[in-house]
């Protein structure tokens, strides 16, 4: 299993999102391997994060255009969780399942196609460097190129029963900034306008937007405000996140956020809203179902599916109308912790599956 040795090589390079040197080093290794398969590389250079890489293949008319999607960065700063190890059943290390392991599944599947056909056509591979920090930079590249593809396969980790992912929540992060009027709490209490008190009313209204039956959550994760106990608070800031499962819920939340922001529950306060939808919702759809049925016919296997509350760059491609399926990486657990691991046998299962899929679309 040469691919596990390849995995070991890139796991042993720290590629924390803010470690540009490390992320670029992993990118260079991936570039070397993919160029051996005939891919041409376009590098989107960055100064403070790793470079984004788009690997493109030759084109033939009448074939479907396919995008493979991965990321080189991990969440662990240098000297916090490093190095590759293994036992009989598992491999361990930062990124073995999220998602250097997935990148290796994609790489080995492409190798299998190249070995059989001596070329690869109509398949491109985008590897970004900032997925773990929200893809705020790479999202523009992903959204821009998505229109060029019919299908997208994403290599985040598989489910525990090797499910692929057909739906992911959308997520947005916002800040509400509240302006009040400062005054001395002892001598001039009535002259003040309390921004913190305004925030308390907004907090209650924001919490009411959560609808667990619909999978919608609104979380005010941080509130900062005030000067001291003897001063009426002149400013307060609320940092919040929204997650939702449908476009309809997204629209409801955005409308409500604006209404709550623009409502002064305490007379004399003013508020502003800043933020964005980081990744729009990925909804299960009929085109996915048709593609999954086609894959089942190709591979003579049953493809299990699941929906996830977490997000990935699959959200971006899906939002552009591209038929997108995620979860083609190996099964693992403990991701984003020092117990991250991936099950060895699922690498082969995933490589065999993806090799069959890509082979089919070469004809």
Looking at residues 315-322, what average pLDDT do you find?
A: 97
pTM over 0.85: yes
Q: Is the dihedral of CA 311, 316, 319, 325 positive or negative?
A: negative
The answer on pLDDT for 1 being more than 80 is no
pLDDT band at 363 (very low <50, low <70, confident <90, very high): confident
What's the pLDDT score for residue 255? 98
Band of residue 341 on the pLDDT scale cut at 50, 70, 90: very high
Residue range 82-102, pLDDT digits in tens: 999 999 999 999 999 999 999
User: What does the angle CA 99 – CA 357 – CA 317 come to, to the nearest 5 degrees?
Assistant: 55
Q: Cα dihedral angle (197, 201, 206, 207), rounded to 10 degrees?
A: 100
pLDDT > 70 fraction of the chain, expressed in percent and rounded = 100
Q: What's residue 174's pLDDT?
A: 98
Mean of pLDDT values over 286-300: 97
Q: Which domains does the chain have, with CATH numbers?
A: 2-168+281-360 (3.40.630.10), 170-279 (3.30.70.360)
Query: Model confidence over 206-244: pLDDT tens digits?
Result: 999 999 999 999 999 999 999 999 999 999 999 999 999
- In the chain, the percentage of residues whose pLDDT exceeds 90 is 99
Q: Which residue has the tokens 């470079």?
A: 51
- What are the pLDDT digits (tens) for 142-199? 999 999 999 999 999 999 999 999 999 999 999 999 999 999 999 999 999 999 999 9
Average pLDDT, the chain: 97
Quick one: average pLDDT of 14-25? 98
Does the CA dihedral 45-46-50-56 come out positive or negative?
A: negative
Beta bridge partners of 27: none
Structural tokens at position 274: 């800043």
Average pLDDT of span 271-300: 96
Measured on CA atoms in the order 51, 68, 152, 325, is the torsion positive or negative? Answer: negative
């Amino acid at each position: 299993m040469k691919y596990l040795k390849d995995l070991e090589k890139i796991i042993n390079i720290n590629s924390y999102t803010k470690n540009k040197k490390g992320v670029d080093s992993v990118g260079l290794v991936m570039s070397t391997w993919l160029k051996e398969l005939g891919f041409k590389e376009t590098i989107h250079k960055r100064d403070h994060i790793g470079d984004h890489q788009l690997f493109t293949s030759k084109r033939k008319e009448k074939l479907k255009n396919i995008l493979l999607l991965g990321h080189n960065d991990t969440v662990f700063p240098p000297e916090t969780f490093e190095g590759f190890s293994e036992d009989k059943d598992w491999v361990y290390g930062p990124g073995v399942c999220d998602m250097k392991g997935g990148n290796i599944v994609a790489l080995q599947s492409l190798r299998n196609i190249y070995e059989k056909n001596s070329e690869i056509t109509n398949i491109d591979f985008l590897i970004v460097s900032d997925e773990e920090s929200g893809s705020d930079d790479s999202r523009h590249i992903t959204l821009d190129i998505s229109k060029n593809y019919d299908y997208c396969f994403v290599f985040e980790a598989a489910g525990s029963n090797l499910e692929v992912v057909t739906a992911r929540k959308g997520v947005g992060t916002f800040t509400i900034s509240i302006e009040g009027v400062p005054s001395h709490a002892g001598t001039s209490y009535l002259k003040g306008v309390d921004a913190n008190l305004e925030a308390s009313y907004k907090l209650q209204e924001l919490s009411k937007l959560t609808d667990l039956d619909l999978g919608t959550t609104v979380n005010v994760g941080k509130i900062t405000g005030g000067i001291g106990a003897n001063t009426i608070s002149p400013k307060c800031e609320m940092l919040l996140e929204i997650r939702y499962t449908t476009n309809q819920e997204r629209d409801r939340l955005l409308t409500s956020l604006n209404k709550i922001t623009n409502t002064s529950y305490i007379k004399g306060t003013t508020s502003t809203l800043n933020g964005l939808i980081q990744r729009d919702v990925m909804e299960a759809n009929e085109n996915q179902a048709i593609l999954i049925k086609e894959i089942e016919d190709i591979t003579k296997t049953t493809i299990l599916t699941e929906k996830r509350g977490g997000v990935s760059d699959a959200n971006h491609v899906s939002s552009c109308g591209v038929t997108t399926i995620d979860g083609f990486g190996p099964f693992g657990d403990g991701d984003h912790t020092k117990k991250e691991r991936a099950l060895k046998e699922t690498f082969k299962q995933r490589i065999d599956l993806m090799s069959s899929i890509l082979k089919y679309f070469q004809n």
